[in-house]
């Protein structure tokens, strides 16, 4: 029996396929999302009736997905979150706001834009990702 080598990219992500998927930044950050939205249910369901969806988890988290191959997602959507700036945990790090920043208005609505050809077709924000200037 042998253990496969762990290959790590310059950005710290694992590049070893199934060798170290548990180390992928997005998966780690989704565990943090799960912890943040624990005890909530789906609200503010939205769809374009094709391959784009978005929903909030109560007032604690928000997810948007664009699986369209020929259309951008560009819509003003209810996030369920309080107003402020949030850091997307899929495109950035959980502890540092290094990815996409989403501005949520005081009414909970944010403009969500995910291009059809985006590297990541998912945006995820939650109460623990409010930008504080760090």
Task: Identify the CATH number of the domain in which residue 49 sits.
Answer: 2.60.40.1180
Q: Are strands 101-104 and 73-78 parallel, antiparallel or unpaired?
A: unpaired
Output the six-digit token pair for 113.
């834009």
Residue 76 lies in a domain: yes
Q: Which residues make Cβ contacts (< 8 Å) with residue 69, sequence separation at least 6?
A: 51, 116
Is pLDDT larger for residue 2 or for residue 29? 29
Q: What is the pLDDT of residues 65-110, one digit of tens each?
A: 999 989 999 999 999 999 999 999 988 865 678 889 999 999 999 9
Q: What is the C-alpha separation between 45 and 57, in angstroms, rounded? A: 10
Confidence at residue 12, expressed as pLDDT on a 0 to 100 scale: 63
Host domain of residue 58: 17-129
User: What's the domain count of the chain?
Assistant: 1
Residue 123 lies in a domain: yes
8-state DSSP, 57: E
**Given a cut of 80, is residue 34 above it in pLDDT?**
yes
CA distances from 17 to 21, 22, 68, 77, 101 (A): 7, 10, 25, 34, 28
- The mean per-residue pLDDT over the stretch 32-52 comes to 95
Confidence at residue 118, expressed as pLDDT on a 0 to 100 scale: 80
């Amino acid at each position: 029996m042998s253990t496969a080598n762990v290959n790590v990219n310059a950005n710290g992500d694992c590049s070893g396929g199934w060798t170290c998927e548990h180390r992928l930044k997005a998966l780690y950050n989704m565990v943090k999302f799960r912890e943040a939205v624990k005890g909530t249910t789906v609200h503010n369901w939205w769809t374009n009736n094709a391959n784009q969806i978005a929903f909030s988890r109560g007032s604690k988290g928000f997810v948007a997905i664009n699986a369209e191959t020929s259309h951008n997602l560009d819509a003003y959507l209810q996030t369920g979150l309080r107003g402020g700036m949030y850091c997307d945990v899929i495109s950035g790090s959980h502890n540092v706001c290094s990815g996409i920043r989403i501005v949520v208005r005081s009414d909970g609505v944010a403009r969500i834009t995910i291009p059809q050809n985006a590297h990541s077709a998912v945006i995820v924000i939650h109460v623990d990702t409010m930008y504080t200037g760090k």
